[in-house]
Structures are given as structure tokens and as C-alpha cells.
Amino acid sequence: MSFTDKVVTIERHIIEEEQAHPGATGQLSAILRELTLAIKIIYREVSKAGLVNILGLVGRENIHGEQVKKLDAFSDEKIFQAMDHGGHLCVMASEEHEDIIPIPPQYATGKYVLLFDPLDGSSNIDVNAPIGTIFSVYRRMTPSGPGMLEDCLQPGYKQVVAGYVVYGSSTMLVYTTGDGVHGFTLDPSIGEFLLSHENIRIPSKGKTFSINEGNSVNWTDGMRRYIEHVKKDDKASGRPYTGRYIGSMIADIHRTLLTGGIFMYPADRKSPNGKLRLLYEANPMSFIVEQAGGRASNGVTRILDIKPTALHERTPLFVGSDEDVRICEEFLAGKR
Ligand code: P6P
């Protein structure tokens, strides 16, 4: 009897990825497994988000007499609680915290660093738009002891793992360890993430552009001319492109990863460095898109080559199909 579709849980995939690297110590696998547990707990609360106002949960006491936190604070706390005691990390940093998050002194420290955005796009919760969790893992730079700020301020090309979860019509976890990009869809009936998109590859050119056109009054001339370009009727080059913008970076980039095209959050006169954060949003998403064969820049420089100077620094972001991002960069540089 032949078994056709093998069922690959994310735990099995992580172990098989580890076995493919002879020098692996298992620490990275343990980090991913612990993170997956926190993500399942976040999923459970996010999936009830629509009930929050009805059941009066947020901002009031729950049946245990505990103050119920907003979902982004809840998600932040669950990731910290899952990751603080495993002995694999020397420091963490979260989009929800101004400074680095030390490992409590009662726990051992390890050789890795975890940066995370516990719930990106949380402003979309009340309208039931997709939201997400984003994470990056780096090796520590300092030799030993408690991790420091410099362990968190590494260029994106030093990431050893990057991943995101999109809590949407289905909940999907997408991650890379530098050996391709793989997607797992949550089966809530068994509480397991199952391999559903092995070795995701982004098309070299797409037909969708994604940008908040409400900001066009503040765009540079090059930005304006690129958007005019993709809207022009030219069937031979697959134009006009379709416009798609959800206002949740995770969902917009996830769609771009799977179907191709370009997602843009440019700098403009109002926000000279754009809105998105380099460490918590641009770096992990850029590592993933590059691993799938795409391209990511700030319009001039490869995102993963940018040396961060502050935990919450922002960057313009142009990410997606290689050909689309290259053409956009040419318009931004005034070459077209
Ligand atoms: P705007 C959500 O608030 C977020 O941080 C990203 O997820 C999203 O891409 C961006 O902001 C949307 O910003 O200015 O278009 O509303």
C-alpha cells in the first residue's frame, strides 16, 4: 500500500532541516518549536478577536479576575513567556518595547538573538483584516553573558531564521532558514501547522502593485512616474497592473510572495524614512522574499545590507518580484 501525501508538521520539517545541517546543535530547532507554541496561543486569541467587543473581554476583567490585555500586548507577553527560559537566547527585542528585553537572570543564556513584532497590523483587528506575527533570529555578536544592544543591531543578511504568520482566512506560517521558503497552514482541528507550500518561489515579474495611493501627494517625482508606468495600457508588457492594498504589510507581502508583483512603502515628504521598521518588518520579510528569488531594497540599497543604528529605525521598502523591483528602482533613480 503506498501512502501518497505525507503529513509534514512544522516540527517534523524543523527537525529534518536541522538534520540536513550536520553541525546543528538543535538550539535553533528548539527556538522554532517554542515560538510555534506561542503562535498557536496567539492564534487562539486572535481568532476570538471578533468576539472581544461582544463578550466585553478587552480592558475589563476576565472570569479569573485578570485584566485582559489588548491583543498586541497579549501576543508580546506570550512570545516572551515562551522564549525566556529555553536557554537558547541571550537577548530579545520586540516592536512593542522601547529597549532590548534581557533574559531573566534565573535562566541560562544561549547563542541566539530573537527580534519580533508580536502582532503587525493590529490596527486592522477591529475590521477583521489579516494581521500577523513576524520574527527574526540572529547569532549573538558579544562573546558571552547577557546579550546587548549590539547583538540586536545586526544587518539583515546575518539572519539565520526569518518567519511570519498571517492570521487570515486561514492561518499560515512561512519561514526560511536560508535554504528556501516553506509555508505551513494551521489545521485548527488538530492544532498543527502542516506543510502546504514547499519551496515557495516568487514569480520573476508580476501584475500587481501594492501601495497606499492616499500618500501620492507626498511622493517623489520618480515614485509618481513609476505608478503611472504600471497603470499604462501596454498588453505586451502585461500592463496595466492590478492595484491591491490591504493596509496590513504581512497580508500585502504574503500575496506578493505567492503571486508576484511589488509592495511599496516609500519615504515621502511627511515620513522621510518611510513608516515600516527595519528590524521588525523590513529585514525578516526581505530575507524571506530574497530566499524565494525576489528582491528587496529601500529604493537604492539592498535592505539586508543596511546596518541598523537604532532598534526602531524605519526604512522605505520596495519588495517583490525581482524584475518589478528593479524597474521601480530605475524610476526612483530618474533613469526612466
Ligand atoms: P498606511 C499597519 O498599521 C502597518 O504597520 C503595516 O502593517 C501596513 O503595511 C502599514 O502600516 C499601512 O500604513 O499608512 O498605508 O495605513
Residue 147's domain is classified under what CATH number?
3.30.540.10
Question: Do 126 and 273 belong together in one domain?
Answer: no
CA 144 to ligand 1 center in whole angstroms: 37
The Å distance, Cα 85 to ligand 1 centre, comes to 33
76/220 same-domain check:
no
The reported pTM is 0.94
Whether 279 is in the pocket of ligand 1, judged by its Cβ within 6 Å, is: no
Is residue 202 domain-resident? no
Which structural domain, as residue segments, surrounds residue 126?
10-197
For every one of its 336 residues, what pLDDT tens digit does the chain have, with 9 covering 90 and above?
Answer: 555 578 899 989 988 888 888 887 888 889 999 999 999 999 998 887 666 554 444 555 555 555 656 888 999 999 999 999 999 999 999 999 999 999 999 999 999 999 999 999 877 887 888 999 999 999 999 999 999 999 999 999 999 999 999 999 999 999 999 999 999 999 999 999 999 999 999 999 999 999 999 999 999 999 999 999 999 999 999 999 999 999 999 999 999 999 999 999 999 888 889 999 999 999 999 999 999 999 999 999 999 999 999 999 999 999 999 999 999 999 999 999
Residues 190 and 221 in one domain: no
**Quick one: which atom of ligand 1 is closest to the CA of 212?**
15
Q: How far is the CA of 249 from the centre of ligand 1 (A)?
A: 6
Q: Report yes or no on 102 lying in a domain.
A: yes
Q: Do 191 and 212 belong together in one domain? A: no
Give the neighbor-by-neighbor strand order of the sheet with 89-94: 101-102, 89-94, 112-120, 131-139, 159-167, 171-176, 181-187, 192-197
Q: Are residues 153 and 272 in the same domain?
A: no
Both 184 and 221 in a single domain? no
Q: Ligand 1, residues 127, 164, 248, 256: which to mutate, most atoms within 8 A of Cβ?
A: 248
142 and 242 inside one domain: no
Ligand 1 pocket residue status of 297, Cβ below 6 Å: no
Q: Are residues 68 and 183 in the same domain?
A: yes
Total count of domains within the chain = 2
Paired residues of 181 in beta bridges: 176
Confirm whether 260 is domain-assigned: yes
Q: Within a domain: residue 273?
A: yes
Domain assignment present for residue 272? The answer is yes
Tell me, in angstroms, the distance from the centre of ligand 1 to residue 30's CA: 32
- Answer yes or no: do 179 and 311 share one domain: no
240 cis-preceded (ω within 30 degrees of 0): yes
Query: Could you tell me if the CB of 121 is within 6 A of ligand 1?
Result: yes
Domain of 264, CATH number, reads: 3.40.190.80
Identify which of 72, 96, 120 to mutate to test ligand 1's pocket (most ligand atoms within 8 A of the CB): 120
Distance CA 207, CA 240 (A): 8
What spacing in Å lies between the alpha carbon of 247 and ligand 1's midpoint?
5
Cβ of 216 below 6 Å from ligand 1: no
> 325 CB under 6 A from ligand 1?
no
How far apart CA 9 and CA 21 sit, in angstroms, is: 19
Residues 127, 236 within the same domain: no
